[in-house]
Structure 1
Amino acid sequence: MEPQEHVSLRHDQTKKMGIGEFSGPLPYALLLGSFNSTLALPYKDIPRPGKLEFIRAFMPGGEFHDASIVDYAAAMRSRYGDIFIMPGIFGRKDWVTTFSPKDIEMVFRNEGNWPQRETFASISHFRTQIRKDFYGENVGLVSAQAESWGKMRSAFNPIFMQPRGLASYYEPLSDINNEFIERIKEIRDGKTLEVPENFMEEISRLIFDSLGLVAFDRQMGLIRKNRDNADALQLFKLSKEVIRYVFKLDFQPSMWRYISTPAYRKMMKILDESLTVAQKMLKETQESLEIRRKAGEQINSNSMLERMMEVDPKMAMVMSLDILFAGVDATANLLSAVLLGLAKNPEKQGKLREELLKIMPTKDTPLNEETMKDMPYLRAVIKEALRYYPNGLGNLRTCPTDITLSGYNVPKGSNVVVASNILFQDNSYFPQADKFLPERWLRNPETGKKTPISAFTFLPFSFGPRMCIGKRLVDLEVETSVAKIIRNFQVEFNYDASRPYKTFFLMEPAIPFRFKFIDIDH
């Protein structure tokens, strides 16, 4: 495979007073962090670019114009060390950004039972100001804070975080992926067996259909059966636009908090249209279910939508939208990354297929909870794709108390970016980081031991009470899709893949994914 072109991430930072280099039990670690707050260097001494320098860097002609947030953060790490500040501008507060695993652990261990973070301000603004008439107190997990977030998360955790409810989705997800297999056969070139340059949209349609099955309890049909379904197609396009405008308004320098910018107006329109379409679709779903009940049809008692509706119909509506906003692009990118990693490493693909053949002796072998429970290499491949192609910079938290990070005092209320994803490609934490090695996540067959992975260096779904609530749903979808695709095809990618993604808020493709899909005969 082509060598990966990475910004150099390794440096030797001069440690300030040795703070943060603790070890031992958690209480001692926390005590040390608290004790050193009186000895730490002041907040104002944390390295940072000036505000004007920061603004100019992202403007046309600037050093980071059209660059990814990951490239920017990596460059700042090389320039400043393991901690620096992205200065607050235009109403946004400073973001203390740390790359230190010890700092990251300190942040998460001190976040409390109701972790807070600076929310996606543009979405929160829409829900609390523009459409307060609909949302009221139900602003969703993305925007909620403190006790209101805690109550909502407690209500939804049993639905999303426990496997029993997900088991009923294996069969319909398999059906959706069977459609995707047929779609690949329809669109690939008859001679080269390559799919068109816009194949990423097909992957996104697959993920939208899969998540829509959970969010709206219905099959959208955007893969093949009903590609021009007006409502579903509109919601599909809008859900992809939301993430792009989050980056424009909430991450890049923007004055939308003070004046009505074009990007702000566009975002408010996208969010309003999304809400209207989602309300219509959920109403149709409920009406259809009621007709089926009256006709005596059996309804899925473990439907995640039905269980959410039992908690609170309006919260179910908000949650269904957030599943699409947060899930479509992120999950589609992950699936493309897994396929790319396997295509560029055919020996790993062959090893995965050997595992799949044991539980899927025929291509139409049904996937269910029993057949999927023993797939260690499949899960290792997905974890390695998450590491090899990091999706975004990391996580954001608001400090509930004063805290010491890398020898500096960070006061209560500060926003901290735990930039753990930058560490994924650092040889200090992941030996041979430039190689796609699913084996690093498995026990060595000779020694029975796993490759040591430093704690708090691999957190693609965050950590603690506010970790991604959709993790199990993403696992289920990606595992099903990868299993189906690799069981049916040998996947190749015969183009340069040294820089396949760019990362703004989340990563997105930087090249066309013209995969070659060769049929497996048996």
Structure 2
Amino acid sequence: MVKMSTFVNKCFVLGGKVQRVYMSKIFREKFEFSNNGQLLSTNLRTAEKLEIPNCPKPTFIENLKGLVCWDKAQRLHEFVDEQHRIMGPIFRMHIGAVTAIFVNSPEAYQRIFKFEGPTPQNFVPEAWTLYNEMRKCPRGLLFMSGEEWLNNRRILNKLFLKPWTAKDLMIDCCEKAAMSLCNEWKQFADAGNTVPDLEQRLYLWSIKVIVSTLMGTTWDRHEDELTSDLNILAENLHEVFIQSAKLSVLPTKLAVKFQLPVWRKFTRVMDTSTNVARKLVLRIGKVSNNGLLDLMRDSAIQDEYLVRIITDLIIAAGDTTAYSTQWALYLLATHAEVQERIFNISMSNTSQDIIDHSYMKGVFRESLRLYPTAPFLMRSLPLDSIIEGYSIAKGELMIMSLYSSGRDNDNFPQANEFSPQRWTRDSKNKYENVINPLGTLPFAAGARSCIGRKLAEAQMTLAISQLIKTFRITCDNAENIKMILHLISVPSEPVKLRLMTRN
């Protein structure tokens, strides 16, 4: 077995940029690459002899303890980070019934995305898959694969990403939602109270942004009649992720077979969320005007897919953006100097300029680096491949440890510090204090990267800008907040934000 202490730094040119790569001495001496980056076949036998470092397989008793130790599951990102520090950038580990290879080097990420193929397989929690089978309900883009996924993704790319067809519509909706959020929160500032039910309020704000974007100009007329359904979604969505995370540390099929309480609760909140979301989509479809839904209809997305895709867009956007924004506000509440810089930028720029501003982008990227919505990305490669000098068999589960690489000083000096300035480019167009920007991939990369990333950036940036323009923000319990996992990263206790209205 190759000890990971033998890994050394070596520089090489990749894509026109000099980047750091970790390669073992044995790997460097024994292997050669062709011009296109593929391992030469004459050396493949040597790669097969190198054994990936293994975490000891848990015993039966340890597995039983794991099933009841929810706290351990919530801190998996910390455990995996510690294993990377001990074992290096790649190791194999058993989690329950699953065996996976964990990697945390940006170079490994690049190779995974390069070799994932044109229709990468997406991994969703087993509980969600079993639920879909039980309810016989086809779902949206997140659950699709193969040509079905590819055809719909290509259409959505044109609307959401390149070119950003719905940009003006999205920015307008994000602006209005940010103003509404500030007006609502003024009552708490005036009363000298912390923002109550912060999590649910951000859920509701996030859902309103996507729904208003789907509806277009008719949103203002119909907001009140939709509010009841939106509140139900806000109340239920996070519970879906909590119960999903609990099921992830159990043999889910056994939980289904014996109808354990956690499975029953999961199906109940999933039923409510999907039924309300579908009903909402059908109502929106009857009254939308010049909204994103109309653009999707006009873009040749078949009716059978439209409701499925939009339902999952609403569910996914509500949860991920709400928590990403909460983490950003938590960081800003503990960095008054960053708030003042945002205030000055926000007072003298248009919404589009604020979104494009390098410092605002730095705030966005830095928050997601420290608190990635998804601390782990999962892929399996369609062909046998070489990653970090080891032979990876076709179909093996690869897990990219974004939390670990995002807090690695070799990628980001003073990695645990919140420093938006590090993302400012110098006269040579290089980031001021970033060694390898690919250490953080909050929206993944490659063909299956997040379809909603531009909307999320506009939504978060304009909300933060408007809130900082209106308030100074502090946090009453900042020292108590830790990051835990409920499939996505969430605070360990409710964040108590305190607002003071600016003169």
TM-score between both structures, scaled by the size of structure 1: 0.82
- 1:39 to 1:117, Cα distance in 2 relative to 1, 3 A: farther
Contact 2:233 2:277 in 1 (8 A): yes
Q: 29, 36, 39: which is aligned to 1:32?
A: 39
Call closer, same or farther: CA 1:37–1:88 in 2, change over 3 Å.
Answer: farther
Question: How far apart, in 2, do the equivalents of 1:56 and 1:491 lie?
Answer: 44
The CA deviation string for residues 105-151 of structure 1, in whole angstroms up to 9 with x for no partner, is: 22111111111133333223333x2233x52xxx3221112222211
Q: For the residues of structure 2 that align with 1:503 and 1:29, how far apart are their CA atoms?
A: 38
Higher helix proportion (structure 1 or 2): 2
Q: Does 1:77 align with 2:84?
A: yes
Q: How far has the Cα of 1:238 moved from its partner?
A: 2.5
Aligned residue number for residue 323 of structure 1: 313
Between the aligned partners of 2:394 and 2:376, the Cα distance in structure 1 is 20
How has the CA–CA distance of structure 1 residues 506 and 216 changed in structure 2, closer, same or farther, with 3 Å as cutoff? farther
Deviations 1:320-354 (A, max 9, x none): 22223322222112112222222211112211211
Q: For 1:429, what is the secondary structure of its paired residue?
A: coil
Superposed CA RMSD: 3.2
CA distance in 2, matches of 1:140, 1:387: 28
> Greater strand share, 1 or 2?
2
Compute the displacement of 1:177 (Å): 1.7
* 1:504/1:172 CA distance change after superposition, 3 Å: closer
Using the TM superposition, give the Cα deviation of residue 382 of structure 1 relative to its aligned residue in structure 2, in angstroms.
Answer: 0.9
Distance 1:253 1:13 in 2: 35
Query: Residue 148 of structure 1 corresponds to which residue in structure 2?
Result: 148
Report whether the alignment pairs 1:340 with 2:330: yes
CA–CA separation in structure 2 for the residues paired with 1:102 and 1:373 = 29
Equivalences, count: 477
Structure 1 439/461 Cα, relative in aligned 2: closer, same or farther at 3 Å? same
Contact 2:53 2:91 in 1 (8 A): yes
Contact 1:103 1:405 in 2 (8 A): yes
Number of the residue aligned with 1:501: 483
Q: 2:265 — aligned with what?
A: 266
> Which 5+ residue runs of structure 1 have no aligned equivalent?
1-10, 290-298, 361-366
1:364 corresponds in structure 2 to: none
Report how far residue 500 of structure 1 moved: 3.5
Q: Which residue number in structure 1 is paired with residue 345 of structure 2?
A: 355
Does the Cα contact within 8 Å between 1:118 and 1:415 map onto a contact in 2?
no
Q: Which residue of 1 aligns with 2:468?
A: 486
1:202 aligns with 201
Is the contact between residue 30 and residue 106 of structure 1 (CA under 8 Å) also seen in structure 2?
A: no
Letter of the 1:158 partner, please give it.
K
| Of 50, 53, 56, the match for 2:57 | 50
Higher relative contact order (CA 8 A, sep 6+): 1
Take 1:448 and 1:399, find their aligned partners in 2: how far apart are those partners? 34
In 1, the alpha carbon distance for the partners of 2:188 and 2:497 equals: 11
**Contact persistence 2:175–2:462 (CA under 8 A):** yes
User: Residues of 1 paired with 2:321 and 2:159: CA distance?
Assistant: 19
Deviation at 1:472, TM superposition (A): 0.8
Report the TM-score when normalising by structure 2: 0.85
One-letter code of the match for 2:293? L
Please give the alpha-carbon distance, in whole angstroms, between the structure 2 residues aligned to 1:344 and 1:145: 42
Deviation at 1:509, TM superposition (A): 1.6
Q: Distance in 2 between matches of 1:226 and 1:60?
A: 43
Over 3 Å counting, the alpha-carbon distance change for 1:17 and 1:33 in structure 2 is farther
Tell me, yes or no, if structure 1 residue 384 matches structure 2 residue 366.
yes
Structure 1 residues 308 and 45 mapped into 2: Cα distance closer, same or farther (>3 Å)? same
Following the alignment from structure 1 to structure 2, what is the Cα–Cα distance between the partners of residues 207 and 100?
32
Which of 135, 145, 150 in structure 2 is aligned with 1:131?
135
Cα distance in 2, alignment partners of residues 121 and 220 from structure 1 = 39
CA contact 1:425–1:433 (8 Å) conserved in 2: yes
1:279 counterpart SS class: helix
The 8 Å contact of residues 55 and 253 in structure 1, kept in 2 or not, is answered as no
SS in 2 for 1:334: helix
- 1:59 lines up with 2:51 in the alignment: no
Deviations 1:408-432 (A, max 9, x none): 3221011100113311111111001
% identical equivalent positions: 21
Matched ranges for 1:101-140 at <5 A? 101-127=106-132, 129-132=133-136, 134-135=137-138, 139-140=139-140
Structure 2: stretches of 5+ with no match in the other structure = 8-22
